Amino acid sequence: MKITRHPIKTIDLLPEFHREECERLDEYVQSARERTSSLTLLHDFVAKNVYLAGSVVAPDSLEVARALRLSAQALGAVFALRLDPMPEAYVLGEGPPVRYADPIDPSIPNIFIWRTAFDLALIARQTAPLGYLCRVTKDTFRGSSLRGYTDEAYRFMELRQRAWADPGFGWEPLLTWCEAYMVRAVEISEPEGAESARRLDIPYYAAMRKVGERDGAGLEAALAEAVTQHKKYWSAKAVRRQEKVGFVSLPLLGLAALAWDRGLRFHVDSDYLPWSWVTGDLFRTASADPKQ
């Protein structure tokens, strides 16, 4: 049975919005190739709109594939350019690799950008950005404008890094710790945070465990449940139903893409998990197009 997307009030406006954002993309790509301060702007102001609106109106389009790839590259660069040594040249878009003269402003990288970059890099099969993202430590965030994060927050980042490095991470003690932490978060958080942990985080780590255990059948069931909970969360309130970030689940897509690339076979029929994104077919089609 298909898990359909929750109703979107502005759905009739999305095709034109998607077209306009696609037309603006090249301008932002050029700006991001010229200055590091524009890397997050490329994703936040344009590319994100292309792939999120596109997930509804044209999920298998070359424009969506390009926006996902550019987003992974741009946000990956935010961290690559904080590492020592920083890369001499960095691939961003279709032109020659960029040689940035200066590192990224240390106030820009934060844990939320890292999570989005990691999910996008898994989905778009961007191994170079993934390599940089997996070298990030909590020290990389020194100078970040985001305040108030504890050391525990970075353990979730470390778990994702280990999942990328080790196909058999299912028995990783850190996974057990993260699962227990989220259960506790439901008990002690205010209602909004508790709901997010219960419907988004706990199902994600349940699916992650099945990836680490290389259990395809178990992963299929866990993903179906996680997508169901994603729908319940993003459809619970009118304001959430209009948030584009809820149109798909980037964390679940990244996890499913990782599992698929490691040989696990499963299928979940849902608008929240465009299947060509999971299998990577979207990006193989884009690679075959000379304009991409």
CA distance 90 to 136: 17
118 within domain boundaries: yes
Looking at the fold, whether 229 and 183 belong to one and the same domain comes out as yes
Least confident of 95-99, 134-138, 164-168, 225-229: 164-168
Looking at the fold, whether 111 and 27 belong to one and the same domain comes out as yes
How many CB atoms are closer than 10 A to CB 256?
28
Looking at the fold, whether 17 and 90 belong to one and the same domain comes out as yes
Give per-residue pLDDT as tens, 107-135: 999 999 999 999 999 999 999 999 999 99
289 within domain boundaries: no
Looking at the fold, whether 212 and 241 belong to one and the same domain comes out as yes
Looking at the fold, whether 43 and 160 belong to one and the same domain comes out as no
292 within domain boundaries: no
Q: Point out which residues pair with 98 in neighbouring strands.
A: 90
284 within domain boundaries: no
Confidence grade of residue 290 (pLDDT, cut at 50, 70, 90): very low
Looking at the fold, whether 177 and 121 belong to one and the same domain comes out as no
Looking at the fold, whether 160 and 117 belong to one and the same domain comes out as no
Looking at the fold, whether 73 and 127 belong to one and the same domain comes out as yes
CA distance 116 to 203: 18
287 within domain boundaries: no
60 within domain boundaries: yes
CA distance 149 to 152: 8
What pLDDT, on a 0 to 100 scale, did the predictor assign at position 292?
54
Looking at the fold, whether 36 and 88 belong to one and the same domain comes out as yes
- What's the count of helices (H) and strands (E) in the chain, helices before strands? 15, 0
Looking at the fold, whether 131 and 159 belong to one and the same domain comes out as no
Looking at the fold, whether 160 and 119 belong to one and the same domain comes out as no
Looking at the fold, whether 165 and 132 belong to one and the same domain comes out as no
Final residue before a domain boundary, out of 81, 115, 139: 139
CA distance 68 to 60: 12
242 within domain boundaries: yes
Cβ proximity of 64 and 50 under 8 Å:
yes
What pLDDT, on a 0 to 100 scale, did the predictor assign at position 139?
92
2 within domain boundaries: no
CA distance 155 to 175: 9
- Of the candidates 144, 145, 141, which has an alpha carbon nearest to the alpha carbon of residue 158? 141
CA distance 40 to 122: 18
Give per-residue pLDDT as tens, 57-109: 999 999 999 999 999 999 999 999 999 999 999 999 999 999 998 889 999 99
Give per-residue pLDDT as tens, 24-59: 999 999 999 999 999 999 999 999 999 999 999 999
What is the DSSP annotation of 210-262? Answer: HHHTT-HHHHHHHHHHHHHHHHHHHHSSHHHHT-GGGSS-HHHHHHHHHHHHT
Domain count, the chain: 2
Structural domain boundaries enclosing 265: 155-274
Final residue before a domain boundary, out of 139, 174, 196: 139
How many CB atoms are closer than 10 A to CB 270?
23
